[in-house]
Amino acid sequence: MPAFEVIVPRAVRGLIDDLAGKRAGYRAIYDQLGRDPCSEQLGAYRLSGPLEPIVCGVHLKRGFRLAFTIQPAEEHDGVSRVVILFVGTREPRHRDRDAWTILHDLFDVDNPPSGHHQPPCCAEGLPEISEVQLDAFLDELQRMRR
């Protein structure tokens, strides 16, 4: 049994499907998220600014980034869930296509300037998102994908 259950919400599935054939290394990252999203091997880091308490990022291959958060187990003996929020390319010179800019826009918060500190994902505790925040984000993502 995995240490974490990895959830790919319906709104994110199309983004994952778009990775097919791009050799981005998604499967290896997905598997590692299920084992331990806090492992040093994964290299996950906190996003800075307003999303720092709730979102971690990880580098895929070929310039792709994956954003995720964690939800605690629903039951006392249950498994915590890693929720994949977004996958896209990092293109800071093209803000309309940049994964982190889009992610911040979907959460309706300002994207911090470049050069910010990116602490390890779990150094200050697990990133956690409320059900209300997650639902609002996924609704915005669904609208954007239409």
Looking at residues 50-54, what average pLDDT do you find?
A: 91
Q: Categorize the per-residue pLDDT at 37 as very low, low, confident or very high, splitting at 50, 70 and 90.
A: very high
Of 27, 31, 32, 2, which Cα lies nearest the Cα of 16?
27
What is the spatial distance between Cα 100 and Cα 43, in angstroms, rounded to a whole number?
17
Q: Is 83 exposed, middle or buried (0-12, 13-18, 19+ CB in 10 A)?
A: buried
CATH H-level, domain 4-145: superfamily:
RelE-like (3.30.2310.20)
Domain positions in the chain are 4-145
Say what the pLDDT of residue 46 is.
92
pLDDT value of residue 98: 82
User: Is residue 129 over pLDDT 60?
Assistant: yes
User: Which pair of structure tokens corresponds to residue 134?
Assistant: 């997650």
Higher pLDDT, 45 or 73: 45
Q: What is the pLDDT of residues 99-125, one digit of tens each?
A: 888 898 999 998 776 666 788 998 888
